[in-house]
Structure 1
Amino acid sequence: MPAITDEQFEQIKEIVCEILELEEDEVTETSLFREDHGADSLRAIEILASLEKEFKITIDQAELSRMVNLKGVAEVVGESMDAK
């Protein structure tokens, strides 16, 4: 997994929780956004757009298939930051 800092991981988690309207303790690294938290594809796109804005990166929409939980989102963000 590309290296992201603990601070960046916390920022990612805050963004995800805000968009999914969840408390931070409800979301784990591996809890699935759609299956465990009822997120739809529109929420996934909102998460992607917010991450791009926050970290000033570009994420290919094809990566949405990997962004199913916090761990996947962190990996995609890390890779996108490395590619900058």
Structure 2
Amino acid sequence: MAADGSEYVDEIKALVCETFDVDPETIDENTPFAEMGVDSRRRVRLLATVEVEFGVDLDLDELDRLVDIRGAATVLAEAVEAGAKPRKRGLPGFLRRNRLS
């Protein structure tokens, strides 16, 4: 069964609202991040926040799918379903892999 992310929508919405100072009453799971003023740089921040909060490594290539709360929840659910395991302490996965010298 494909992961649709339903179980993570509320948690991702709370993270988005906290991270980007958005009123939860003004958005739903399908509100595009662009309408919230969230550009690609801020989506990278969201990706890192999800990694830290849920203790999983997400591929930076998934960034194009983080267009709304539902998309972020689906990416997380798929990572968990694929066996993503909590990391040891340290930088989120994409930061470890793309560290500047």
TM more than 0.5:
yes
Aligned pairs for 1:29-48 (under 5 A) are 29-34=29-34, 36-48=35-47
- Normalising by structure 2, we get a TM-score of 0.72
Query: Identity of paired residues, percent?
Result: 32
Give the number of aligned pairs. 82
Shift in Å at residue 9 of structure 1? 2.5
| Matched letter for residue 32 of structure 1 | P
| 1:28-70 C-alpha deviation (Å, 9 max, x unpaired) | 1111001x11112221011101100111111111111011001
| Matched letter for residue 70 of structure 1 | I
CA radius of gyration, larger in: 2
Instruction: Provide the residue aligned with 2:9 in structure 1.
Output: 9
Quote the RMSD (CA, aligned, Å). Answer: 1.6
Q: Which structure: greater helix fraction?
A: 1
Task: Give structure 2 stretches of 5+ with no counterpart.
Answer: 85-101
Shift in Å at residue 3 of structure 1? 5.5
Alignment partner of 2:56: what SS?
Answer: coil
Q: Does 1:53 align with 2:52?
A: yes
Separation in structure 1 between the aligned mates of residue 51 and residue 27 of structure 2, nearest angstrom: 21
Instruction: Provide the residue aligned with 1:27 in structure 2.
Output: 27
